[in-house]
Structure 1
Amino acid sequence: MQNKTLCTLGCMLFLAGYSFAQDTVKGYVYNDANKNGKKDRKEKGLEGVSVTNGVEVVVTNDNGKYELPISNDAIISVIKPSGYAINTNKDNLSQFFYIHKPNGSPKFKFEGVSPTGKLPRSVDFGLMPSEENKAFTSLIFGDPQPYTLEEVDFFARGIVDELKGVKDVAFGLSMGDLVGNDLSLFNPYIKAVKDVGVPWYNLLGNHDLNFDAEEDHLADETYEAHFGPANYAFNYGKVHFIVLDDILYPDPRDGKSYWGGFCDDQLQFVENDLKFVPKDHLIVLAFHIPLSEPEGDPFKDDSRERLFDLLKEYPNTLSLSAHTHIQRQDFLGKEQGWKQDKPHHHYNVGTTSGDWYSGKLNKQGIPISVMRDGTPKGYAYIHFNGNQYNVKYKVAGKPEDYQMKIFAPKVVAKGRNTKAGIYANFFIGSENDEVVYRIDKGDWKPMEYVQEQDPSYEALVFEWDLTDTLMPGRRSSNPIDCKHLWRGKINTKLEVGEHQIEIKATDMYGNTYTGTSSYKIDTQPDAQTQTK
């Protein structure tokens, strides 16, 4: 019983700290005209800006002043309004928070926050006016997750290098599992991402935890020391972003491992935050573990239901996750507890580490790391326009128009039926998309949506099992069913020779992508010819 209530008790103690200490934090949100990061006498306060202690949310008065309760284990953060920018540090990390831990973090294997000392008389947040178009783009990284410095290098050279100096990106967000259990790799990870050259946000994954913590609210101490609060929000254009830690650790059911879900104080924060968000804005929620998966019980049902209840008055929503090392589009309706007629779109983003840096090495000595559903490693761009959005996936090291992997047999026998098929793995696709194909510029025909293992990925894996010579790199994970796979029939009645395959896929946003391949038809040799 004690283990099952750890998360709830932690949340209650956090809130109880307010009443025992009777402490408050005060300060100003101001126009940092000279961009020096401190409030000068002539710099005016900004009215109507939200500030939070991680649970309660208040807005500044006409002088830009706010006041909040505070405990001795708290992070105060400003919720950036649209039309303003926040200072970033030398590593391009947004500085939107103040940590108040007078005694510092508990003693863990990996160092947390150093003692912050006495609370300043005024905790101020400077913002700078910034032109924000209603149309903008964000860059999304799923699970960088290096376990070693060598894998940090794989991440830097295989992902970041091709993004250095990227244009027209407002900010980036990494979707958790920033590292793989070794929290001393946070700084190398930060140095790698810095080179993208845009303001960067992060969120907490299950491999970013202090595993020696015995209570959930202490499991993110090292994360906080490097990145600030694990729960926060900000605005850009007509989009309101809410970033949440959805890792319950230790698992409140048995005190072991972890579980997906939220504590009461987190949901209270979301409720308080949304009070100041217009109903016609797009709400984008980002967290590590997906809201639901078909196998097992990875997410707490009550957390999902309560979150959906808070969103029922917002018709424009999107949620993002990573964690699975595959890519998938989910549409959650009333059967899953969604409170609106239009299903909620949940995008489970493919990862920058792919299949945990496995597979053969490319020409640069970097693992190709194709994911178990056949999705190549990469990252996503989300293009926003007002309260609408359009997601595109970019395969690392490939042209932007490389959006599908086509598999077909190399040769088939003329006139003979075959169980082989033409497969198209449309990386960003979902079951509702249209995928058609044609042979030799004939009529377009629909392909059949199937949930099977991608044969192109199966071939990559079995190459490791069939070779009699060890290859550089590491065997990939076993295949799983792909959620964005289509199958077409092979026409064997054509003339002997090479035949061209064209495939056209149209996604949920109306984007159309094409791919090509080929197969050969030959005559079947007879048994006598073979024996000779």
Structure 2
Amino acid sequence: MRHLLSVISLLWLAAPAQASPQCEGGQVWEDRNGNGHYDAGETPLAGIKLSDGIEVFITDADGRYRFAPVEGRTLFVIKPAGYDVPRRADGIPDFWIHARTTPGPALKYGGIPTGTSGCRDFGLIPHHAAAQSPDLEALIFADTQTKSLTDVGYYRRDIVEPLIGRHTAQLGLTLGDVVNDDLSLYPALNAQTARLQVPWLHIPGNHDLDFDAGSDDDSLLTFRRHFGPDTFAWEEERMTFIGLDDVIYQPGQKPAYVGGFREDQFAFLQTYLPTVPKQRLLVLGVHIPLFDTGGGSFRAADRERLFGLLRDFPHVLLLSGHTHTQRHWYHDAATGWHGVQPLHEYNVGAACGAFWSGAKDADGIPDATMADGTPNGYARLKIASGGGYALSWHPARDRQEPGIGLHAPKVLRQGAYPAWGVYANVYMGDDRSRVEYRVDQGEWHPMQKVSQPDPRLLAENMRDDLADALRGYDRSPEAKVSQHLWRGALPTDLTVGVHRIEVRAQDPWRGELHAATQYLLQQASP
């Protein structure tokens, strides 16, 4: 394995980089008491992997690794299964160090300050067997995207506080657009996320860039100062997670960014992937979806190159954000995937929904429904042995949404032509979903999947249109075609009065979901 790593490292072709003379490596040890010091009785850890985002280094029998830090890169330990890493003062996992001995570009939000040599010792804290859950559970946020301290307050009240003391996750992920261009908000946002008391990993998005940087190489310096490497890996007993920046900044061009990967990221993957056990679930987290190639939003050649590296992995899940909608995509030969099974990409809905927009509720929090009718919120990922997993979507504040949003007319004329229907937005649905409805406990009938906007959001658009004054800071988004909407025609030949509508949908991970509403039949004369 070491020979393979060395060969691939030698193949890395890059512009000449200046090695830092400050250090030559460090040591990794088992920090049994978690105090950050190598105490008597604690032992070095052999076989631990570290990387600078290109090469991979492995500790020897004394727990030591050796390398020459390269100015501007970030060294990180690849957390092994069975261990935790300590947390920094701001609550972020402490698993990296930057190599910055000379000043970088002057940036509005500061970039990475000088004074770090690029190598250090790492103490890993062993898991306590009694505290381990049989299944790994992760909270997944996409696009928290706060543009002000007011939005940070919404994030606190809408997303974070309802989860405190109630979730059972051991890991957290944010899939980019942590903030909305104002990078000074990172500390305030981190302070809230840290209250969830789990290791939290961050991937950059297009709104996390230093837009005054002169190149893509320098466009994530401020992000990296706060969150660490923009390419990294993290290992658990049942999962290997790889985080990848997939936003290529193009200063002075239109568009200003494009979805894709850098050469150094491919070098890291080529070096690291051969070390990853194939029986585990391999999860890749990115910001820009890989299925989205319209208008140059993601480079198809980069996607196919990545898929070539992943082809022999039997259990792969891809997580993305960016769209402020939600859908499932199954990659096959049409998009360059040639694995035995289709590759599942889950495009996660946004924590901020539609950018914290819409009319405020009684608690003063914006509605934030996304353009496809999905309520803002977060996802859960549960991982079982053998590469299995389960996904679920949870509306913010755990509103009593059963995974299905319903819309039906309040009143219809008895005997009218049955041209009106009930609509079911099954938030985690896809083309394979079975969705049925019945009226007054009658027979179940299949609903038809339709490609149109969610009428619940269309009604909100109309309320905004007809209002004499603004109903919120920003209007709800204009409704667009939902990828998970079903329709069933409502009968009008029933008795006058109220009739109950029930909808059920088969969720592949949560089982049968149910929702109900009603409509009224009235008599009318011409």
1:135 touches 1:237 (CA, 8 Å); kept in 2?
no
Query: Where does 1:301-380 land on structure 2 (aligned, <5 Å)?
Result: 301-380=300-379
The secondary structure found in structure 2 opposite 1:195 is helix
Q: Distance in 2 between matches of 1:251 and 1:486?
A: 42
Letter in 2 for 1:235: E
Q: Distance in 1 between matches of 2:15 and 2:87?
A: 30
Q: Distance in 1 between matches of 2:416 and 2:489?
A: 13
Query: Where does 1:129-528 land on structure 2 (aligned, <5 Å)?
Result: 129-130=126-127, 131=129, 132-250=132-250, 254=253, 256-293=255-292, 295-386=294-385, 387-399=387-399, 402-509=402-509, 511-526=511-526
Q: Distance in 2 between matches of 1:418 and 1:446?
A: 16
How far did residue 342 of structure 1 move? 1.1
Call closer, same or farther: CA 1:335–1:184 in 2, change over 3 Å. same
Q: Distance in 2 between matches of 1:139 and 1:217?
A: 30
How far did residue 58 of structure 1 move? 2.5
Letter in 2 for 1:110: Y
Q: Is 1:127 aligned with 2:132? A: no
Call closer, same or farther: CA 1:363–1:13 in 2, change over 3 Å. farther
Identity of aligned pairs, percent? 35
The secondary structure found in structure 1 opposite 2:198 is coil
The secondary structure found in structure 2 opposite 1:397 is helix
Letter in 1 for 2:243: V
Q: After superposition, what is the alpha-carbon deviation per residue over 1:192-221, rounded to whole angstroms, capped at 9, x for unaligned? A: 212222221111011011001111111001
How far did residue 467 of structure 1 move? 2.1
Q: Which moved more, 1:157-166 or 1:282-291?
A: 157-166
The secondary structure found in structure 2 opposite 1:201 is strand
2:356 touches 2:368 (CA, 8 Å); kept in 1?
yes
Query: Where does 1:107-118 land on structure 2 (aligned, <5 Å)?
Result: 107-118=106-117
How far did residue 22 of structure 1 move? 8.6
The secondary structure found in structure 2 opposite 1:77 is strand
The secondary structure found in structure 2 opposite 1:519 is strand
The secondary structure found in structure 1 opposite 2:235 is strand
Q: Which moved more, 1:64-73 or 1:343-352?
A: 64-73
Query: Where does 1:26-65 land on structure 2 (aligned, <5 Å)?
Result: 26-40=25-39, 42-65=41-64
Q: After superposition, what is the alpha-carbon deviation per residue over 1:164-186, rounded to whole angstroms, capped at 9, x for unaligned? A: 12342101111111111011111
Q: Distance in 1 between matches of 2:159 and 2:167?
A: 16
2:241 touches 2:283 (CA, 8 Å); kept in 1?
yes
2:418 touches 2:491 (CA, 8 Å); kept in 1?
no
The secondary structure found in structure 1 opposite 2:180 is coil
How far did residue 478 of structure 1 move? 0.9
Letter in 2 for 1:389: Y
How far did residue 43 of structure 1 move? 2.7
Q: Which moved more, 1:75-84 or 1:412-421?
A: 412-421
1:329 touches 1:348 (CA, 8 Å); kept in 2?
yes
Q: After superposition, what is the alpha-carbon deviation per residue over 1:104-139, rounded to whole angstroms, capped at 9, x for unaligned? A: 43211111111125456xx21110110344512100
Q: Distance in 1 between matches of 2:208 and 2:269?
A: 23
How far did residue 400 of structure 1 move? 6.0
Q: Which moved more, 1:199-208 or 1:160-169?
A: 160-169
How far did residue 50 of structure 1 move? 1.1
The secondary structure found in structure 1 opposite 2:353 is coil
* Aligned residues between the structures: 512
Task: Structure 2: state its 5+ residue gaps.
Answer: 1-10
Q: Distance in 1 between matches of 2:244 and 2:294?
A: 23
Q: Which moved more, 1:230-239 or 1:60-69?
A: 60-69
How far did residue 224 of structure 1 move? 1.0
Q: After superposition, what is the alpha-carbon deviation per residue over 1:501-528, rounded to whole angstroms, capped at 9, x for unaligned? A: 10011123352210001111122322xx
The secondary structure found in structure 2 opposite 1:114 is coil
Q: Distance in 2 between matches of 1:294 and 1:23?
A: 44
Letter in 1 for 2:100: K
Letter in 2 for 1:277: V
2:97 touches 2:118 (CA, 8 Å); kept in 1?
no
Q: Distance in 2 between matches of 1:14 and 1:36?
A: 39
How far did residue 41 of structure 1 move? 5.8
1:30 touches 1:126 (CA, 8 Å); kept in 2?
yes
Letter in 2 for 1:452: Q
Q: Which moved more, 1:285-294 or 1:465-474?
A: 465-474
Q: Name the TM-score, length of structure 1 as normaliser.
A: 0.92
Q: Distance in 2 between matches of 1:373 and 1:515?
A: 19
Q: Distance in 1 between matches of 2:90 and 2:471?
A: 37
2:176 touches 2:206 (CA, 8 Å); kept in 1?
yes
Task: Structure 1: state its 5+ residue gaps.
Answer: 1-10, 527-532
Q: Distance in 2 between matches of 1:371 and 1:138?
A: 23
Q: Distance in 2 between matches of 1:113 and 1:57?
A: 23
**Partner residue in 2 for 1:5:** none
**Partner residue in 1 for 2:6:** none
Q: After superposition, what is the alpha-carbon deviation per residue over 1:202-254, rounded to whole angstroms, capped at 9, x for unaligned? A: 110110110011111110010111111111010112100000110100179x4
Q: Which moved more, 1:235-244 or 1:109-118?
A: 109-118
Q: Distance in 2 between matches of 1:104 and 1:439?
A: 69
Q: Which runs of 4+ in 1 moved over 6 A?
A: 20-24
How far did residue 465 of structure 1 move? 0.3
Call closer, same or farther: CA 1:215–1:13 in 2, change over 3 Å. farther
Q: Distance in 2 between matches of 1:225 and 1:440?
A: 59
Q: Distance in 1 between matches of 2:278 and 2:415?
A: 61
Q: Distance in 2 between matches of 1:234 and 1:461?
A: 43
**Partner residue in 2 for 1:529:** none
Q: Distance in 2 between matches of 1:506 and 1:68?
A: 53
Q: Name the TM-score, length of structure 2 as normaliser.
A: 0.93
Q: Distance in 1 between matches of 2:267 and 2:151?
A: 38
Call closer, same or farther: CA 1:90–1:165 in 2, change over 3 Å. farther
